[in-house]
Amino acid sequence: MIISPANKLEHINEYYFSRKLKQIAQLKAEGKPIINLGIGNPDQAPSSATIDALIHAAQNTRNHGYQSYIGIPELRKAMSNWYQHTYDVSLDAATEILPLLGSKEGISHISNAFLNPGDKVLVPNPGYPTYSSATYLAGAIPVAYDLDEENNWAPDFTKINEDILREAKLIWVNYPNMPTGAKGNDEIFKTLINIAKEFKILIVNDNPYSLVLNEGKPVSILQMEAAKEVCLELNSLSKSHNLAGARIGMIVGAKDYIDTILKVKSNVDSGMYLPVQAAAVAALSNSDEWHEKRNDEYRKRRTLAYAIMDALACTYSKEQIGMFLWAKIPDTYKHVGDLTEKLLLEADVFITPGFIFGSNGERYIRISLCSPENDLKTALTRIQNVNL
């Protein structure tokens, strides 16, 4: 290659799932009947009202042009109403909500809006790899903070050097948590807000899983008193409304923060396709019964995921939230990759190894619930027939 890559790409590799999907595609091309239990890609349909709204809007010839960078007022109002109904959080639809082309986009926008080269960013370990990647792309430096099972996957700030806290500009948190399924609670959020105020750190809670297999009240960090002073929250319709491919997300928080992020966003995209916005408005009005029906399907699948983990002699909590099951592998395996590669090559089943989420995930695996019951049953049978 004649032109050298940017230095900021030195610490960034192609996304793990992008690489793994190529391997799976090659194995399938060779005739291997791979069952992919790795990626959280919802396979259930959006609500019929969502699909009808998309079709109706697309049939209007005036709806195919460029759109506003901040979304149509109807979409921001629907997002505001949804936050009020779901979390009991009041948001100004005109100033405190920024629709996104998926919340993953928001991770990048927030990083570029607030980080200078050399700034320190606290990222969870285990955690979503994109937090670190976006930090590097902004020229900043990710610093991992530990989450561990003994502490119910909650951060312990007494174990973080105070000098690091003083240098940190931003902290990524993710409750309900991925990959661990930990719910999060008021104590975690209050502690985070106190730390953020003391050390002048911006908190961003990434919150796309709170409606999936959550038997309690959905949580938002913005439920906490004075949270808007130091907190932003990302949310998404990908998991909760079965709209992953439509790329509909949002950043919510105080006007000044939203205005700052808009400076980045308005120079990167040209707005969200109007029929998709119309579909999002309809989706955000889905009934509680619709969400419960979706969760009923995931509950059935989770029972089979439990059986798979049992067959693998893994240990896990049944209190997890979200569309995954996270479990600790037995000591008989030196490395989690030994187990997951064995399952891929001998059972034709792909399960995500926890090391992709950080060093604290190296003894764990994760199963996605986004496959039909028949696939999970077949995967279970195949695993039971492998010499583990």
Residue-wise pLDDT for 329-339, tens only, equals: 999 999 999 99
What average pLDDT does this structure show over 366-386?
97
Residue 190 lies in a domain: yes
Instruction: Indicate which CATH number applies to the domain containing 91.
Output: 3.40.640.10
**Does 86 share its domain with 212?**
yes
Residue 83 lies in a domain: yes
**Does 368 share its domain with 330?**
yes
**Does 257 share its domain with 144?**
yes
At residue 250, φ and ψ (nearest 5 deg) are: -160, 150
Q: What is the DSSP string of 135-185?
A: HHHTT-EEEEEE--GGGTT---GGGS-HHHHHHEEEEEE-SS-TTT-----
What average pLDDT does this structure show over 157-171?
94
The number of folded domains in the chain is 2
Q: What is the DSSP string of 83-151?
A: HHHHH-----TTTSEEEESSHHHHHHHHHHHH--TT-EEEEEES--HHHHHHHHHTT-EEEEEE--GGG
For residue 365, CA distances in Å to 237, 266, 351 come to 25, 39, 7
**CA–CA dist 221, 54 (Å, integer):** 31
pLDDT at 345 > cutoff 80: yes
What average pLDDT does this structure show over 117-124?
97
Instruction: Indicate which CATH number applies to the domain containing 325.
Output: 3.90.1150.10
Q: Which amino acid is at 134?
A: A
Q: How confident is the model at residue 354 (pLDDT cuts 50, 70, 90)?
A: very high
Burial class of residue 187 (count of CB atoms within 10 Å of its CB; 0-12, 13-18, 19+): exposed
Residue 48 lies in a domain: no
For residue 119, CA distances in Å to 126, 143, 165 come to 21, 10, 11
At residue 164, φ and ψ (nearest 5 deg) are: -65, -45
Which DSSP symbol is given to 361? G
Residue whose C-alpha is closest to residue 332's, from 320, 342, 322, 318: 342
Which DSSP symbol is given to 268? T
**CA–CA dist 219, 320 (Å, integer):** 14
What average pLDDT does this structure show over 171-178?
97
Segments in the chain forming alpha helices (H): 16-29, 48-58, 73-87, 103-114, 129-137, 162-167, 186-199, 255-265, 274-283, 288-311, 336-346, 373-384
**Does 259 share its domain with 302?**
no
Residue 35 lies in a domain: yes
Q: State the pairing for strand pair 249-253/97-100.
A: antiparallel
**Does 195 share its domain with 275?**
yes
What average pLDDT does this structure show over 169-190?
96
**Does 292 share its domain with 275?**
no
pLDDT at 105 > cutoff 80: yes
Q: Say what the pLDDT of residue 23 is.
A: 83
Contacts of 333 (CB under 8 A, 6+ apart): 339
**Does 140 share its domain with 163?**
yes
**61, two tokens:** 């010839």
pLDDT at 15 > cutoff 80: no
Cis before 176 (ω within 30): yes
**Does 120 share its domain with 268?**
yes
**Does 71 share its domain with 206?**
yes
Asked if 209 and 176 touch (Cβ cutoff 8 Å), the reply is: yes
**124, two tokens:** 């969870």
Residue where a domain stops, chosen among 283, 310, 341: 283
Residue 228 lies in a domain: yes
Residue where a domain stops, chosen among 233, 248, 283: 283
Percentage of the chain beyond pLDDT 70 is 100
Residue where a domain stops, chosen among 283, 315, 344: 283
Residue 51 lies in a domain: no
**Does 145 share its domain with 19?**
no
pLDDT at 8 > cutoff 90: no
**Does 292 share its domain with 220?**
no
Cis before 73 (ω within 30): no
How far from each other are the two terminal CA atoms of the chain, in whole angstroms? Answer: 44
Residue 213 lies in a domain: yes
Q: What is the length of the chain?
A: 388
The number of beta carbons lying within 10 Å of the beta carbon of residue 35 is 20
**165, two tokens:** 């806290």
**CA–CA dist 233, 220 (Å, integer):** 8
Question: Which domain covers residue 114, as residue numbers?
Answer: 64-283
**Does 181 share its domain with 247?**
yes
Residue 53 lies in a domain: no
Q: Say what the pLDDT of residue 36 is.
A: 93
